[in-house]
Structure 1
């Protein structure tokens, strides 16, 4: 059905407050991408957190469309007392690329236990799940689910 899908994640900024940008380039097999909606399910590792109040503010200002799936987690808790969480993000079409979508998510580092190494800690952000729906007209609909492996 669909040709190659390219997903790229970039982390912007330095320090404890960063931005995760997810870019998706779809193949050319879908005729009218204007009818498509792309939903991204991103797992957030325990070493990071997403502030639900910040997301609400960004939605109000139409900067990003993201919501927390996980409930009852403490944004103040350190890494070793935290759990992984999930965020759903509606990706928007990229105005600079005809068959591309892009999503933006602010992420924040949690405090980690002190250690005697070089003072740096690595956190791995896995690839997200992609869910796409396209309404191609006359009852023809395209559903696509791409899972990380």
Structure 2
């Protein structure tokens, strides 16, 4: 088990087209993270969407390793006609930090219902599930879920 897992999500850029940067730092209880793979299951709320065609293009260029889990979803539907979706992302080890992984995911805002007053709409992005597998020459599998 890990003594500490720090999860940080940053939304980069402004406007309707943004990038989600997910950073995960593990405590010192895992001896060799070089043998580990971290899979992030990110839940995308109805106010956002991920374009599966954009993900395919980014995978081809080796920019991200992400795939849509949800099927039959309409990227053009407004938030009130949408469903939550899920994306699986393999995080890469951070070259700046020995105990860290990071993942990049482009996200886009959906249209919302018009308001009679000017105002802001808040979208809550819940913590993802973290699944890690380490191959250290023995059958060692560890799974974590970051609680919301």
TM-score (norm 2): 0.96
For residues 8 and 51 of structure 1, what CA distance do their matches in structure 2 show? 23
Q: Which runs of 5+ in 1 are unaligned?
A: none
CA contact (8 A) 1:136 1:142 kept: no
Does 2:44 correspond to 1:44?
yes
Q: Which runs of 5+ in 2 are unaligned?
A: none
For residues 60 and 18 of structure 1, what CA distance do their matches in structure 2 show? 20
The aligned residue for residue 29 of structure 2 is 29
Q: CA deviation at 1:116?
A: 2.0
The aligned residue for residue 143 of structure 1 is 142
For residues 145 and 119 of structure 1, what CA distance do their matches in structure 2 show? 38
The aligned residue for residue 120 of structure 2 is 120
The aligned residue for residue 92 of structure 2 is 92
Give per-residue Cα distances to partners, 1:52-78, cap 9 Å, x unaligned.
000000000000000000000000101
The aligned residue for residue 107 of structure 2 is 107
Q: CA deviation at 1:148?
A: 2.4
* CA-based RMSD: 1.0
3-state SS in 2 of match to 1:40: strand
TM-score (norm 1): 0.96
